[in-house]
Amino acid sequence: MNQKYGSYYSEAYYLDGCGINYNDRDYWTKQFGEIARRIVELYRPKNFLDIGCAYGYLVEALRDLGVEAYGVDVSEYAISRVREDIRPYCYVCNAAEGLPEGLPDRFDCVSAIEIVEHLYEEDAQPFIHTLCSRSDQVIFSSTPDDFKEPSHFNVQQQEYWAKRFAQEGFLHDLNTDLSFLSPQAMAFKREEKSQLRLIENYEHFIRLQQKRLVSVREQANEAIKGKDDYIEGITEELKKREQVVQAQKEKIQAQKEEIQAQKDEIESMRQEYREKYRLRETALKREKEEIAGILAATRAREQQLQAAHDAIANSTFWRLTWPARRLVSGMRRIGRGKPSQEGQAIPAQAPAAFSELEKPKGIPASEYMMRLYRNMQPIAAAVSDEKVDRLNLVTDSIEASHLLGGVATALLLATEFAKRNNLVLRLITRDVPVNPCDYLNILQLNGIEPPENVEYYSDHDRDENGQKATKMFVTQGDIFFATSWWSAVAIEKTSLRKRFYYIVQEVEPFFYPYGDEHLLCDRVMNNPNIDFIVNSHYLWEYFEKEYPNIIRNGVYFEPAFSKKLYAKAKIHPKKKYRLFFYARPNNPRNLFGNGVLLLDMAIRQGILNTQEWEICCAGQDIPEIVFCDGSRPVHLGQMTWNEYRDFVAEVDLALSLMYTPHPSYPPFDVAVSGGVVVTNTCLNKTEFPLCKNVLLGDLDPEKFMETLRQGERLAKDSEQRRRNYEEMTIPRDWPQVLEKTLQKMGEWL
């Protein structure tokens, strides 16, 4: 019985032979629950038989609605997967050969859903006979076009099956719509009709269908007309936006031309300074030669005097007159006062300061620290009497590949503050030249307009002492904005104002062992002349205990993750899922080594199956890692904002470690894109109430494995993951979250 067909429908078949994995009970019980509800509405059956019931999803759904339902299937494996309380009502049999004993003789309705195409042609009519012998109503569906499935032996059109059912005295019930089941689903009913009655019924059905088509056509025409109006409106809007974009392009082009003019002016000044330097160098060389001549003459004269002195000291006259000279010397001491005691040291006269020519080689002690920590050097500035109010943001660089997270946040905050207070915004970079296009791009991605006036300055090409040929003009109207502790040190020695702003986005002393850098950083955190802006309540709560100076002179905000930047999540089951490992070997706080060990441990324990999961690493200098099963992670390297945004939209699960109280940005990026995140607790960072898709685990390996196991399950649970995504409260609007901070900064101003 089972040998002819049953071997086709093993465990492997139900993984992908039914489209979506048939083992996904959440998905299929929901689908068959809706089908069962519609069947009960149409047929009101007291009992029901599903032939080809597979895992019995329809049988259990009908029984849950109070219908006495039964099922049969040719696959022993499929019947073994039926829900335990439903299994007594499901049987293994080949319906083409008859039904087993124990079933009722008659049923109010019988179904065969996508079954008959799996039978050989010679078994089709006996199978249909079995359906028709047990009920007067049959729900029937068979694909008319899927020839690719290997077990589809008899794929036919609807009219073919209507003819076969007619042989059993069953006609297609045109008044019963089963399209909720499938487009090809048909209702058959035992009926005896004359030829004239059949013609009348079919003509009636055709007339109703034509009437419906006319109505649909009219609705379609109305919809097309509405869409035409909509498209026309969109076209007008696009034209307006195109004009705005063109104006922006022209503005950017004008800025580029202005920058080029500044570059040309700078190059001209460089040439002028080079010529002055060459002339000065020539003059200094000549002076050096003259001094060298004087020194040579001085040494020759010194040698002459020393020779004369030696000749006198060794002469007979000098030795004979020694007693008289000693007597005269003693009398002079008596006249001056008490002579010094024998053996008492006479203070030596302090040596004269080194002349320029005698200065020793080496690094001046006063300059050593500034050379060692180059970004603490003050900006080479010149005081100007111009009347301008300006906000100066000082950062290491503004580059497309470095604009993830903190740098972008500082730029957005500075932009909004400059616009609110009608300030010129000057962006100052210290490591590389500044690119205006990168700044404008980050604003566009977050839906924020730039200030009316933006200036750019870079001293990346300064010399070892921090000097630069073209100095930056500063006035009393210049307000400074630090983005790190070292830029705060530089500002303190540059600004004409006593106070300035500093955005703190980490516990920066954590980055260093107890040494020079830790000490310098700690001094900045305790500087009473800084107005601190803290990124996240996690850091604010930590600073309340450890750095009360920041709390006294600070304000905090929660970061936002723009809806314009991050697309709406697309959460659905997959054959292969994607895991994002936030890998940063060069940043100790991200625990790269522990992350690698935890992933390998999860693979070894079967939590992560690399046949189901693609592990991707994003970051710099990632070594070639091989996991215990021989698999390797995919290395994505550094990404631009656009590349990173598109990547996280496809992430199902992220492992993002941060050994500080700050949660870092990747958990937010992944969560607002619909993914699940596993991260770690640290100090006061013990929960993540903004989104249930972000799980925090203890860094103890065994405890963390349990958190990772929960994250893997949640990533595959599409429904729960979607609910968590829809219920999350992560801020999505920058101007809204920055309102309190901007107001406070204005008060400080």
The reply to whether 141 falls in a domain is yes
Whichever domain contains 128, its CATH number is 3.40.50.150
Average pLDDT, the chain: 86
Whichever domain contains 524, its CATH number is 3.40.50.11090
Are residue 444 and residue 527 in the same domain, yes or no? yes
The reply to whether 581 falls in a domain is yes
The reply to whether 694 falls in a domain is yes
Residue 553 has pLDDT above 70, yes or no: yes
Contact 68, 48 (CB under 8 A): yes
Of the listed ranges 46-55, 87-96, 394-403, 676-685, the one predicted with least confidence: 394-403
255: part of which helix (H) or strand (E)? helix 195-313
Are residue 553 and residue 583 in the same domain, yes or no? no
370: part of which helix (H) or strand (E)? helix 368-372
The residue among 262, 297, 332 that closes a domain is 297
The reply to whether 422 falls in a domain is yes
3-class secondary structure per residue, 19-56:
CCCCCCHHHHHHHHHHHHHHHHHHHCCCEEEEECCCCC
Three-class DSSP category at 502:
strand
Tens of pLDDT, residues 486-499: 999 999 999 989 99
Taking Cα atoms as reference points, which of 582, 653, 573, 657 lies closest to residue 614? 653
The reply to whether 345 falls in a domain is no
The reply to whether 333 falls in a domain is no
The reply to whether 339 falls in a domain is no
What is the average pLDDT across 167-175? 91
Q: How far is CA 644 from the centre of its chain?
A: 6
- Report the pLDDT value the prediction gives residue 569, as an integer from 0 to 100: 87
Are residue 685 and residue 725 in the same domain, yes or no? yes
Percent of the chain with pLDDT over 90: 53
Residue 334 has pLDDT above 60, yes or no: no
Tens of pLDDT, residues 379-420: 999 898 888 899 999 999 887 655 457 888 999 999 999 999
Are residue 53 and residue 159 in the same domain, yes or no? yes
Are residue 182 and residue 216 in the same domain, yes or no? no
Count of domains observed in the chain? 4
**Measured CA angle at 482 (ends 731, 364), to 5 deg:** 155
The residue among 274, 297, 320 that closes a domain is 297
Tens of pLDDT, residues 256-298: 998 999 888 888 888 887 888 788 888 888 888 888 778 777 7
Taking Cα atoms as reference points, which of 446, 506, 502, 540 lies closest to residue 736? 446
Residue 189 has pLDDT above 90, yes or no: yes
The reply to whether 396 falls in a domain is yes
Are residue 591 and residue 547 in the same domain, yes or no? no
Tens of pLDDT, residues 22-47: 888 999 999 999 999 999 999 999 99
CA dist 694 and 667 (Å) reads 7
Domain coverage including residue 532: 379-557
Are residue 187 and residue 208 in the same domain, yes or no? no
pTM here? 0.53
The residue among 297, 323, 339 that closes a domain is 297
Are residue 694 and residue 594 in the same domain, yes or no? yes
Residue 605 has pLDDT above 90, yes or no: yes
Tens of pLDDT, residues 569-593: 888 898 899 999 998 888 889 899 9
Are residue 143 and residue 30 in the same domain, yes or no? yes
Q: Enumerate the H helices of 514-661 as residue ranges.
A: 516-525, 537-546, 548-552, 592-604, 641-648
Query: Got the DSSP string for 375-408?
Result: GGSPP-EEE------EEEEEES---GGG-STHHH
Are residue 638 and residue 512 in the same domain, yes or no? no
Whichever domain contains 607, its CATH number is 3.40.50.2000
Are residue 503 and residue 386 in the same domain, yes or no? yes
- Report the pLDDT value the prediction gives residue 340, as an integer from 0 to 100: 39
Are residue 38 and residue 102 in the same domain, yes or no? yes
CA dist 745 and 554 (Å) reads 9
